[in-house]
Amino acid sequence: MKAILLAGGKGTRLRPLTVHTPKPIVPIFNRAFLYYQIDQLRQIPEIDEVILSLNYQPRRIEEIVGDGAALGIKIRYVVEPIPLGTAGAVRYAGESLTDSVLVFNGDVLTQVDLPAVLRLHRERQARATIVLTPVDNPSAYGLVETDPEGNVRRFLEKPTADEITCNTINAGIYVLEPETFDRIPEGTTWSIERSYFPSLIERGERFVAHVGDGYWIDIGTPAKYRQVHRDVMDGRFAAPPFDGAGPGTTWIAPDARVEDGAEIVGPCFVDEGAVVKTGAKILPYAVIGRQCHVEEGATVEDAIVWANGWIGREAVVRQAILGRQCHIGRSASIGGGVVLGDKTVITDYSSLRLSPEFR
C-alpha cells in the first residue's frame, strides 16, 4: 500500500519562515514537520512507500529527507510540473497505483487512528473515506455533513449561523480508490475538496466519513505553529523529546552549555550546541534552536528561535518566531506575534511588536 503526502504548497501563511525553508521541513523542535506525519503513517505496517508530491523547492526537501532509509520507510518524490491543486496532485502522484491509497494533507499534524480509518474504508467497500474532526467554532470553517450511517452528504463552505447543521470539518486525511482518479482532468489544477469529493456525492458513490477524536491541528499559520510546540510540551500531542515527560519538563541537549546563574523554567527546549549565558532567562514555552547563543540578562519566553540565532545582552523575545541566523541586538525587545525571516538583524535598543489586528 502507498501513501501520498501533498507537500507541494508554498506555505505562504508561514512566510517569511518558508521563503528558504519549504513547509514540509519547517522544524518542530529539532525535527522536520514531515517526520511527524511519517511517524503517523507507521501505524499501518502495510504502507511500504510514501510518495511526496512536491512543487515548491523540491531539492531542499530531498536534501533533508533523502530516500527514507533513516526513517525506516521508502520515500519516492514526484514533482508537479505546475501547481495542480489537491486533486490534480493526487492524480499525478498516483498515476500508476491500483490499490487503495492513503492521502495526507501537508498542513496537518494529527494522532488519528489510521488503522481504524482503513478498516472502515474496507468494511464499507467505499470509493473514498474522509477523516473529519469536530471543532468548537463551526462558523469559522467549511463543514462536512454526514447522515446517521456516516455517509458524506454535503460540504458547507463557511456557513452562516442558521446553516450550521454539524461541527465536523475536513481533517485533510483520506483513503481513496485509484479507479476514481480518471475523473480528475489531467494536467489541470483541480481541487479535491471542491471538485473531486462533490463528484462522488453527485454520482451516488459510496463516500464515508470517519470522525476522529484525537489531536488535530493545521500548522499553516505562525500562531498554530507556536501552538504545536506548546501542545507537545504540555503533553497534548505525544512526540519526542517530550513524550512521556511530565508537566513543566525542561529538555536540554547534552552538549548545550547553560552557565551558572542562568534561569531555566520549564517547559522549554534547548537544542544541541546552544549557549545560555549567566543571568539569561529561558522561560516557559521557549524553544532555543541548535547553536543559538543567548547573552547575559536576555529573556526568551513563549518564543521559537531557529538555529544559529543570537539574542543579545538584556534583549527580550516573547511570543515571537525567529528564523535561522537572526541577530537580536542588545536591549532590543521583540514580541506580540512578530515573525522574522532568516538572517534578520534587529539593532540595539530597537522595539518590534505586531499590531493586534495582524496577529
Report how far residue 296's alpha carbon sits from residue 38's, in angstroms, rounded to the nearest whole number: 39
Domains and CATH numbers, the chain: 2-218 (3.90.550.10), 223-358 (2.160.10.10)
Given this model, what pLDDT does residue 355 score? 63
Q: Is 129 helix (H, G, I), strand (E, B) or coil?
A: strand
Report how far residue 156's alpha carbon sits from residue 140's, in angstroms, rounded to the nearest whole number: 11
| pLDDT tens digits, 228-257 | 999 999 989 988 889 877 788 999 999 999
Question: Exposed, middle or buried, 77 (CB in 10 Å: 0-12/13-18/19+)?
Answer: middle
Given this model, what pLDDT does residue 167 score? 81
CA distances from 190 to 58, 113, 187, 208, 292 (A): 21, 28, 9, 21, 43
Compute the residue count for the chain. 359
Q: Are the beta carbons of 312 and 348 closer than 8 angstroms?
A: yes
| pLDDT tens digits, 119-172 | 999 999 999 999 998 888 776 677 888 888 889 988 887 666 677 778 888 888
| pLDDT tens digits, 69-104 | 888 889 999 998 888 888 988 988 888 888 999 999
- The letter for the amino acid at 135 is V
Given this model, what pLDDT does residue 302 score? 95
Residue at grid coordinates 514533482:
79
Which region among 108-117, 133-142, 285-294 has the lowest average model confidence (pLDDT)? 133-142
Reported as half-sphere exposure (CB side, CA atoms, 13 A), residue 316 has a value of 10
Closest CA to 288 of 272, 305, 275, 273: 305
